[in-house]
A and B are shown apart, each in its own frame.
Chain A
């Protein structure tokens, strides 16, 4: 089973919409989670850290369901600048490296 699974998308939504996508992870020992965003040909940028049941930062909300081993990201009032690939990163016992998946592509249209 892959360490992390995300719907690759693309999610194509109008500006102002609310969009949510999930990430399922296989390592039940994961203690912390990160959402990164990556623009085309740019570096991954840390968007949110999740250490407990969830986190909220402005228009972005992450929720963690440990029982079902998934983490979701909700984006409210989406902006054109939110168009990017969103990468879910569960952190587990092998803490040194990040294993990136392919992420979920989000495209916001005017």
Chain B
């Protein structure tokens, strides 16, 4: 069964450093998402991406964040200058269709620890 994959599974970084989290969505999917979950809290939407551009972003997704689909398979989330409060699980998701019926499938996540 096709699945979303993410690397690395765990990333430790120093405050102020840049990190890039990588995702490989399901191959025929067209809609891509990043979510995050701070320990003990709800899963929060960060950004959605379709047709090589951001379609929606949340307040969390400020200028420190960016997304890119550098080739036909990868979807990345970059945090330019990490803060302590960026420590969280980051989940990538993909969907084959938009609208009300888009079932989103999540990757296993990257645990980001900012020291």
* Interface set of A (CB-CB < 8 Å, partner B): 30-32, 34, 38, 41-46, 49, 51, 87, 91-93, 95-102
Contacts and interface: CB of A to CB of B under 8 A. Distances in A.
Contacts of B48: 96-97
A91 B101 CA distance: 7
A41 B98 contact: no
B43 A100 contact: yes
B75 interface: no
Contacts of B98: 95-96
22 contacts: A31-B101, A32-B100, A38-B43, A43-B107, A43-B108, A43-B109, A46-B104, A46-B105, A49-B101, A49-B103, A51-B101, A93-B100, A95-B98, A95-B99, A95-B102, A96-B55, A97-B33, A98-B43, A98-B45, A99-B45, A100-B44, A101-B42
Contacts of A30: 100
Contacts, number: 58
B107 A102 contact: no
Interface in B1-28: none
